[in-house]
A and B are shown apart, each in its own frame.
Chain A
Amino acid sequence: MRLRWARGRGTIETMTGPRASEWLGLDDAGNPIARVIHLDGPMHTERGVFRAVALDAEQKLIRLLPLPPNDGDWLAVIGGRVVGRAAAPLAAVRRVEAAL
């Protein structure tokens, strides 16, 4: 299913300035039902090194992902459920649309 996509909150710093770290997938009514998010990290905890990702808009729900295997920095998420990962945001968008 095709969604409408819009820039979400959050930015990543890059050599050429800030860039969106989140894209929201909107349904026909304009409600966000899916997201692709750039993984931050690594995050060092007592249990080891992880990459962190917020699963909700308020960033209350954080999921820690193990570092390797690294199959891409972009996470495809539908309603809090991770459905895939990809190296580029556009590819993650396709993962979401394929899973819907």
Chain B
Amino acid sequence: MSSTPLDKIRNIGITAHIDAGKTTTTERILYYTGVSHRIGEVHDGNTTTDYMDQERERGITITSAAVTCEWKDYRINIIDTPGHIDFNIEVNRSLRVLDGAIFIIEGVAGVQPQSETNWRLADRYNVPRVIFINKLDRTGADFYRAFDTLKEKLDIVALPLQLPIGIEDKFIGVVDLVEMKAIVWEGGELGAKFHDEPIPADMLEKAKEHRQTLLDTALAVDDAGMEEYFEKGDVSVETLKRAIKTGTITGAFRPVLCGTAFKNKGVQPLLDAVLDYLPSPIDVPGIKVAVEEGEEEGDHQRRIKADPSAPFAGLAFKIINDKYGTLTFVRVYAGTLKSGDTVMNTTKGEKERIGRMFQMHADKRAEIKEVIAGDIAAFVGLKDTGTGDTLAAAEDPVVLERMAFPVPVIDISVEPKTKDSVEKMTLALQKLAGEDPSLRLKTDQETGQTILSGMGELHLEIIIDRLKREYGVEANIGAPQVAYRETIARSHTETYTHKKQSGGSGQYAEVKIIFEPLERNQGVVFENKVVGGSVPKEYIPAVEKGIRVQADTGVLAGFQTVDFKYTLVDGKYHDVDSSALAFEIAAKACFREGMKKANPIILEPIMDVEITTPQDHVGDVVGDLNRRRGMIQNQESAGSTVTVRALVPLKEMFGYISHLRSMTKGRASFTMQFHHYEPVPRNIADEIMAKSA
């Protein structure tokens, strides 16, 4: 299998809004490519990629599963990703390591909020995409309306390669605008049988019109194709496909296909489109090497090309713990790696020895002896490699661009039901947090409680469930709390001297630090401006560590402190009594004293909320949002339903779903995702501080 040449490999993801039909489509792909011998259904709980108990019970995808299949002697590695925003980290890291993506859009609703978010994410990583408008069999489906939402909501040049023949229960196939023919599916055989036909007479005019647009748009990126067109008045299928591929890879336009995965129509041409238009590992410009600190990002950044004979470079993008141990998924960008080889984890500066390697087929696996540039494999037995770390050959120890992780906004406290399983629980949670960078773990310094921070109520619920099923730890959880943050509103300079004399050798350290506010999302920045060695070089890391640790517990209410800069400008030391520990203690105390005087404030997460409600309840919904400190952004009606978009503090959104249901007799639905952090109003800040005191 690993003999597939590079130009015949496709690494792709499937992403969309929740319930658009990603898993259903993946399931068809596996069936038609012969990986599975039956089609599983999400509602029957027997699909290949939704293999976790929680996924099968709830009918949603939680973790992204990587599967490999073959279509027309090409090898396709596919990652099916979850649509629910709580599991967005999976989309994020998948898009980061894939060369292309299938974007599924719902044929009834068109582009939905989560498709928009994922689209921007794919933009950030420059991932070429083909769009599949799904569910055309559903009542109310409208290809052309869904198509229009692509332009409206995503602001892209969307280019249909197909038009639907019939719609809803009369949907039977598609017009292929590239080859100017109809493809019609026969009933039975689970959609494996279809045949070509002439384009239906009543669609011919429309098809010609769309084909002209296709030629205009596609040939604009292919001069040789233009010349062929001028000469012959048309172009060959081969030329047109080449032009479409160029435009798809550069993002000049986005090809659109359509069908119904559930009713088994349209999936095979979608697979053909993956081969024809999405890039192989050698068609993409190569992954960027991270910039040095202070250096600007841009075109000058070095890129690593997919070359099997170059020094090895790969990115660890996913970690799973199961009964066999820790599995680390790595996208290989360059070189060839054999089991038994030793590489550098260049992110951490440590050596890693490669044990066994596997190719993954959902929850099954096949052992392999080597993996080459362009491919994806899972490694067993890596010691200390985390999500986003680079592995590279020692002769060219590059660090690849890191991934951006989403911000966890909800906290819950957890406690094992029996006291003697505290250790076991902590260990299990550490493992789960190691798999999932959007999950954070900390200990409340005052109460000693373990606090989990995650993306949403569903996310944390699933973690607690896995704790029980996979690790046998039953836990009590507190009510979900908003993950507030703290920051400062003005600059302040603080000097702190730590001095202790208790027989033997004493402790002595003095630091002078300037604390300054930063814009939102700038994190914590450190600058060392010490001159003349007033704080010796070897103690600087201790100062940094002290601040980093103390910043986890803010001075107002114990929340993580963010968006500030601290500059070490001066200090004093003593030849005998100074130590790293003394400087760490001094830095911590300096933070506690200094931040209090720098006008500390509390920040709260504000959510982007989208509610879809029948017309007759809009008044109630909007009024209720106002009471929740919501700011209405936009209101749009389509038929008898209205979509309301608002920015609302997360604090006001707990338990919203049940309230919304009772208010609208169960007819409205909503989605939300993190938007930004904002200072809380005075009265609420007082409330929060009173609670934490």
Contacts of B219 in A (CB 8 A): 88-90
B250 near A15 (CB under 8 angstroms)? yes
Minimal Cβ-Cβ distance residue in B for A25: B230
Contacts of A6 in B (CB 8 A): 227, 230
Contacts of B221 in A (CB 8 A): 14, 16, 19
Contacts of A15 in B (CB 8 A): 250
Q: How far is the CB of B480 from chain A (nearest CB, A)?
A: 45
B230 near A4 (CB under 8 angstroms)? yes
Query: Which of A4, A19, A88 meets B223, CB within 8 Å?
Result: A19
Contacts of B226 in A (CB 8 A): 5, 20, 23, 89-90
Query: Which of B216, B230, B249 meets A5, CB within 8 Å?
Result: B230
Total contacting residues, chain B, CB less than 8 A: 14
Query: Which of A7, A14, A86, A91 meets B227, CB within 8 Å?
Result: A7
Q: Is B74 in the interface zone, CB < 8 Å from A?
A: no
Q: How far is the CB of A2 from chain B (nearest CB, A)?
A: 9
Q: How far is the CB of A6 from chain B (nearest CB, A)?
A: 8
Contacts of A4 in B (CB 8 A): 230
Q: Is B246 in the interface zone, CB < 8 Å from A?
A: yes
Minimal Cβ-Cβ distance residue in A for B223: A20
Q: Is B220 in the interface zone, CB < 8 Å from A?
A: yes
Within 8 A of B (CB), among A1-38: 4-7, 14-16, 19-20, 23
B220 near A7 (CB under 8 angstroms)? no
Q: Is B229 in the interface zone, CB < 8 Å from A?
A: yes
Most chain B CB inside 10 Å of its own CB: which residue of A5, A16, A90: A90
A91 near B216 (CB under 8 angstroms)? yes
Contacts of A19 in B (CB 8 A): 221, 223
**When chains A and B are docked, how far (Å) is the Cα of A91 from the Cα of B218?**
12
B188-230 contact mask (Cβ, 8 Å, vs A): 1 or 0: 0000000000000000000000000001110111010011011
**When chains A and B are docked, how far (Å) is the Cα of A15 from the Cα of B283?**
12
Within 8 A of A (CB), among B247-302: 249-250
**When chains A and B are docked, how far (Å) is the Cα of A68 from the Cα of B690?**
56
Q: How far is the CB of A85 from chain B (nearest CB, A)?
A: 13
Contacts of A5 in B (CB 8 A): 226, 230
A16 near B215 (CB under 8 angstroms)? no
Q: How far is the CB of A10 from chain B (nearest CB, A)?
A: 12
**When chains A and B are docked, how far (Å) is the Cα of A86 from the Cα of B226?**
16
Contacts of A88 in B (CB 8 A): 216-217, 219-220
Query: Which of B217, B229, B230, B246 meets A16, CB within 8 Å?
Result: B246
A90 near B229 (CB under 8 angstroms)? yes
**When chains A and B are docked, how far (Å) is the Cα of A14 from the Cα of B217?**
15
| CB pairs A–B below 8 angstroms (30 shown) | A4-B230, A5-B226, A5-B230, A6-B230, A7-B223, A14-B221, A14-B250, A15-B250, A16-B221, A16-B246, A16-B249, A19-B221, A19-B223, A20-B223, A20-B226, A23-B226, A86-B216, A87-B216, A87-B220, A88-B217, A88-B219, A88-B220, A89-B220, A89-B226, A90-B215, A90-B216, A90-B219, A90-B220, A90-B226, A90-B229
**B residues lining the A interface (CB < 8 Å):** 215-217, 219-221, 223, 226-227, 229-230, 246, 249-250
